[in-house]
């Protein structure tokens, strides 16, 4: 079951500030045998991160993709924007343990990275860890379900 999930395509997006890292990440994920849907940005021309957060988080929210990756300069604008969407659990990570725990306890479905803060090698390790780590379920399932009640309150 989790093996299938690992093979599912990943939707990725960034603003101009993380364009270079996104390009490298796309190639890295494809080298793992996983398909990538890249929604842009496609250059370093100044862009609004919200536009790309909407594309990626919207697709994950609607269930069109089970996982996404978003990048901006710090990752902050992307994580703030993505977490406005129902059923999106976007985790801004810059260390391996957080990437792992965001999967195990929070079932994060979007990994957010700060392109101006981390290098390629750390980004690849974070992504690999995030892809490989399954959700633990159990007591954490009710907790993540209850996150959705916040939107209705």
Which residue among 74, 102, 106, 108 contacts ligand RB5 (CB under 6 A)? 74
Binding region for ligand RB5 (CB under 6 A) out of 66-74, 84-92, 119-127, 130-138: 66-74
Q: Indicate if 105 belongs to the active site.
A: yes
The verdict on 81 binding ligand RB5 (CB under 6 A) reads no
Q: Tell me the C-alpha distance between 44 and 100, whole Å.
A: 30
Q: Tell me the C-alpha distance between 108 and 67, whole Å.
A: 8
Q: Which residue has the tokens 């270079």?
A: 20
Q: Tell me the C-alpha distance between 151 and 14, whole Å.
A: 26
Binding region for ligand RB5 (CB under 6 A) out of 67-75, 89-97, 101-109, 143-151: 67-75
Question: Which tokens go with 24?
Answer: 């490298």
Which residue among 34, 58, 73, 144 contacts ligand RB5 (CB under 6 A)? 73
Q: Tell me the C-alpha distance between 75 and 92, whole Å.
A: 6
Q: Indicate if 93 belongs to the active site.
A: no
Which residue among 19, 49, 52, 85 contacts ligand RB5 (CB under 6 A)? 49
Q: Tell me the C-alpha distance between 141 and 115, whole Å.
A: 31
Looking at the annotation, which residues are catalytic? Answer: 72, 105
Positions that interact with ligand RB5 (CB under 6 A): 15, 17, 49, 72-74, 76-77
């Amino acid at each position: 079951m989790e093996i299938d999930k690992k093979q599912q395509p990943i939707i990725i997006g960034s603003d101009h500030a993380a364009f270079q890292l996104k390009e490298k990440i796309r190639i890295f994920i494809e080298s793992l045998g996983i398909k990538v849907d890249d929604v842009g940005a496609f250059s370093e021309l100044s862009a609004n991160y919200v536009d790309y957060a909407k594309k990626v988080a919207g697709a994950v929210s609607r269930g069109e993709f089970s996982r996404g990756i978003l990048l901006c300069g710090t990752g902050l604008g992307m994580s703030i924007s993505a977490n406005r969407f129902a059923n999106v659990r976007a985790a801004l990570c810059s260390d391996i343990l957080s990437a792992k725990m965001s999967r195990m306890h929070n079932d994060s479905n979007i990994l957010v990275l700060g392109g101006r803060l981390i290098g390629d090698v750390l980004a690849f390790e974070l992504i690999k860890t995030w892809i490989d780590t399954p959700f633990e379920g159990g007591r954490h399932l009710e907790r993540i379900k209850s996150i959705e009640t916040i939107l209705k309150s």
